Amino acid sequence: MITSLSIKNFALIDQLAIDFTNGLSIITGETGAGKSIILGALGLVLGKRADLSSLKNTDEKCVIEAQFDISKYNLFSFFEENDLDYEAETIIRREILPSGKSRAFINDSPVNLQELQALSLFLIDIHSQQQTQELSEEEVQFKIIDAIADNKNELEQYQEILKKYKNHKSQLVSLQRKQGESLKEQEYHSFLLDELLSAKLIDGEQEQLEEDFEQLNNVESIKESIDKALLIAHEEEIGALHHLKEIKSTLQRIAPFGSKYQELLERMNSIIIEFDDITLELNQHAEQLLNDPEKLEYTNQKLQLIYTLQKKHQVKTVAELLVIQNELDQSLVLISNLESEINKLQELITKNEQELDALAQVIHEKRIQAIPVLTEKMIQILEKLGMPNVRFKIDLNLVPTFFSNGKEALHFLFSANKGGEFGLLKKVASGGEMSRIMLAVKAILAQYSKLPTLIFDEIDTGVSGEIAIRMGEIMKQMSTTMQVFAITHLSQIAAKGDSHFKVAKSTVGEVTNSELKLLTEEERVLEIAQMLSGTVVSESALNHAKALLN
């Protein structure tokens, strides 16, 4: 429950500090006095976004601080998960700086708005007139039924699986699109790969093929040149080898006469040995030289194939062609893998659907059991609120679609009069009826939820007299198990409060200020009398106010 609230430099409030107790607290005040400002300040504490218009004095920062007693609400795990210091008396502070920046703190630890909003779900439910209209929305109606059905755990499991299911479906669509695009290219890529594979390319073979081609294409010229070289080398008396040996013989005669002549002789020996090797190799090449037109044709064709592939793929080497061949092979493997991945995803999706169906069925059955409980309790409360012939018909039908909260279509039908036709709640219920129905819903939910504080913001719209008294009694009953605030214009409801606060606006010079004040018993009698008769309070109004309070 909220135990205190302090506001500084917010809207029409210079500075305000107020303490609250449990039970039913009433807040009254003239229209425009600033009741909405109090709710606005609480909204900031609960994580709503702020701007500079919130500052009364734009040169100073705005500070709103609320203290909550959370000792009985098992929130320790929330603080632990968010790395926050747990305190039984937790303080939430919100600051808006003149620069427009906003800061939030939980027990003096800085937090972001998401964390603040998450904590606020456990602290306060502010019910406004807008929420009364939301009662006609299907999502809100489901939440009411699920609270009574105790579907919290099942819905959490369902939503966790639904998230996986949607993610898997999204992945499947992406892979199928990718597969479709790949299949269009698959035939061409297969052709290119087959073309490269059939070429049986080997890294470095192009250079060898080009050398072989030159030799095979010029075999006669090469043989003629080798034969001529051998003839020059070995021809008797005039051959090169004969002359080299003559030079060696001459050097042998002078070698004993000095080391330099000996060195020249050794070098001459080396030349003759090398010359012998050369002529030997020339003989071997001459023997191996064959005129092989078939091999020449094969070599030429293989080279032309390589040149064609290089031109086609815009590369210059066989190594680059082999890289392209590997990439094409990998792309075709990926297409094959895509099919496998798609099959796996389809299996996961089928499994998700089975799990969702099973949980949706459990949720459906629990809702079916909860509906009679809800309608019976609502009728009991609404009969007390002047709707003796009210009837509800809540239809739940399973559908094939997976929604965020199950697989059902919901029709919340309502009839206020005996013998009247059922109609959709949002179409046939009046404003006053909607206010009473919402109060009944909140009263029922208070029995099932552990929310510590509930604020009714003029839920009494469209009602008066005896019905207003009954509404006040219901709020009073609710306040025995939770802290309840009621912002009201009705004296009948105001009289039911355990404490009574008044919002008043005053103007001093050019400055307007709003304040929130806890009324004494005497002040409370006067306030309720003014609610009954206006500014001029009659004796009868005072007596009526006292009677209501008693």
pLDDT in tens, 21-44: 999 999 998 877 778 888 888 989
Residue 401 has pLDDT above 90, yes or no: yes
Does residue 120 sit in the same domain as residue 199? no
Last residue of a domain, one of 335, 368, 398: 335
Does residue 188 sit in the same domain as residue 312? yes
Does residue 185 sit in the same domain as residue 127? no
Torsion (CA) 494, 499, 500, 501 in degrees, nearest 10: -140
Does residue 72 sit in the same domain as residue 206? no
Residue 440 lies in a domain: no
Residue 494 lies in a domain: yes
* Cβ atoms within 10 Å of 202's Cβ, excluding its own: 11
Q: Report which of 64, 104, 106, 103 is spatially closest to residue 81, judged by C-alpha positions.
A: 106
Does residue 199 sit in the same domain as residue 106? no
CA 4 vs. chain centroid, Å, equals 36
Residue 526 lies in a domain: no
- Adjacent-strand bridge partners of 408: 398
Residue 285 lies in a domain: yes
Q: What is the CATH number of the domain that holds 99?
A: 3.40.50.300
Does residue 191 sit in the same domain as residue 330? yes
Would you state the pLDDT for residue 476? 92
Does residue 218 sit in the same domain as residue 331? yes
Q: pLDDT tens across 491-545, in order?
A: 999 999 999 999 888 877 777 788 889 999 999 999 999 988 877 888 898 999 9
Tokens of 61: 């920062």
Domain count, the chain: 2
Residue 251 has pLDDT above 70, yes or no: yes
**487 neighbors 457 (Cβ within 8 angstroms):** yes
* Cβ atoms within 10 Å of 238's Cβ, excluding its own: 8
Query: Please, is 62 exposed, middle or buried when counting C-beta atoms within 10 Å of its C-beta (0-12, 13-18, 19+)?
Result: buried
Would you state the pLDDT for residue 522? 92
Q: pLDDT tens across 186-208, in order?
A: 666 666 767 777 778 788 787 87
The DSSP H or E segment spanning 176 is helix 152-198
* Cβ atoms within 10 Å of 350's Cβ, excluding its own: 11
pLDDT-based confidence at 332, cuts 50/70/90? low
Last residue of a domain, one of 335, 361, 396: 335
Does residue 126 sit in the same domain as residue 241? no
Per the structure, the complete domain to which residue 472 belongs is given by 1-132+451-519
Does residue 253 sit in the same domain as residue 329? yes
Comparison of pLDDT for 259 and 226, the residue scoring more: 259
Residue 158 lies in a domain: no
- Quickly list DSSP for 454-488: EEEESTTTT--HHHHHHHHHHHHHHTTTSEEEEE-
Residue 302 lies in a domain: yes
Residue 458 lies in a domain: yes
Residue 102 has pLDDT above 70, yes or no: yes
Percentages helix, strand, coil for the chain, rounded to the nearest 5? 60, 20, 25
Residue 367 has pLDDT above 90, yes or no: yes
Would you state the pLDDT for residue 105? 94
Does residue 207 sit in the same domain as residue 87? no
Last residue of a domain, one of 335, 362, 392: 335
Does residue 112 sit in the same domain as residue 224? no
Does residue 12 sit in the same domain as residue 93? yes
